[in-house]
Amino acid sequence: MSIELAAQVAELEKKMVGWRRDIHQFAESGWLEFRTATIVAEELETLGYQLQLGKEVFVADARMGVPDADTLACHEQRALEQGAIARWLPHFSGGFTGIVATLDSGRPGPTLGFRVDMDALDLDEAREEGHRPCREGFVSINENMTHACGHDAHTAIGLGLAHLLKQTQDQWSGRVKLIFQPSEEGTRGAKAMMEAGVVDDVDYFTAIHIGTGLPLGAVVCGHDTFMATTKLDVTFTGKASHAGGKPEEGSNALLAAAQAALGLHSISRHSGGASRINVGVLQAGSGRNVVPAKAQMKIETRGKTNEVNDFICQRAMEVLAGAAAMYGVQHQVKLMGAAQSSVPSPVWVDFIRQQAAATQRFDTIIDRLEAAAGSEDATYFMERVKALGGLASYVVFGTELSAGHHNEHFDFDEKVLSNALHTLGLLVLNFSEFRHGDR
């Protein structure tokens, strides 16, 4: 099987590169992945997968950080102009740009779930001859949107896996669910899909990423340093007045926000592990002679564990309320994103390591990544699967990068696509060798 599988992976490599470059050129950020979603849906339907689309895979009210209706409509129209497949667009209108594809082998067995994300970053891509996407003609054409974190690769790997599993459908048992998730950036998309139950029947779950500083030929089978996080937008509303003539009649929203910013960065840390808080944006005021009536902040909290993050977030809420009360203004807090911490299941990590070794593609195989990391909302899927008795992990496939993640010069060695596909394929094809008892 190994030689035959390697040949099938090699045949799919060119397709994956093509998908990746097409998605890269027409980059779409969170909840706006209209074109991307239609192309994925078309490919999966052609293969014969059972599809759940759009509102079927979300709890609508649980979505976070969704753009306004005008922005959604504008980008849906742009997607159509850029080659989106029109018959699929009604499923994704309103930013419901998620897909769950299921393939049943026809033989009894467990359900294996794989999650890939599809969204780009809000960032303008470099347009210089030295930047390969520009030089080779697949640089993003969309303003302030670029795949600078590798999600174009993840989507291409997901499509490659869909093809590989269809080609080998007579060689494995059980079911496979492929989850194509929107809006991972800002940790906005997974929670609403998890609450819709898309992984409630998944016994073994794997999420993936490329890069993160690992060289080509390295793989981490159980990334477990993601921090729990909460992303908040805060609006302070006071009362404007003449700053010279009647300052006492105003309520200064800017001062409330400034006080809050200082207070937030003074929150005590927690003995349970590392914590973070950051005020990333503070905007206020309209003129030098006007007491500011509006102020807006964008903040985030993080914690090594869910408990630590909850502590920091609760204290942040108290600081915001206190600052508003101090200056006699109102405040409103809107949840824009969230993720949990999650520890991969050791026995599933061990099985992933065995399959990575079987590919003979890796010279460095790591069970756990010790380095500090950001946050990832695939942890919602992981925690749900584990809570229902299943196993879960997060796998990182190394690749050489032209620049770091979230940088306008980001690009990667596309050989990673085949490394990932070969490993994920073996997880399904060799699952009969896995021994963990019943779920």
For 297, the token pair is 């902040």
Residues whose CB is less than 8 angstroms from the CB of residue 419 and which lie 6 or more positions away in sequence, other chains included: 216, 217, 219, 359, 361, 362, 397, 399
Ligand-binding annotation for 151, yes or no, is: yes
The closest of 187, 152, 143, 125 to 403, measured between CA atoms, is 125
Residue type, 167: Q
* Residue 149 labeled ligand binder: yes
DSSP-based three-state secondary structure for 117: strand
CA dist., res. 99 & res. 33, Å (int): 11
Q: Where are the beta strands (DSSP E) in 211-359?
A: 218-222, 228-237, 275-284, 294-303, 330-339
Distance CA 239, CA 237 (A): 7
Is 28 flagged in the annotation as binding? no
Q: How many CB atoms lie within 10 A of CB 44?
A: 25
The helix/strand/coil state of 290 is strand
Contact, 422 vs 357, CB < 8 A?
no
3-state SS class at 205: strand
Q: What is the torsional sign of CA 137, 141, 143, 144? A: negative
Which H/E stretch holds residue 175?
strand 175-181
Q: Which residues are annotated as a binding site?
A: 149, 151, 185, 209, 406
Q: Which residues are annotated as a binding site for Mn(2+)?
A: 149, 151, 185, 209, 406
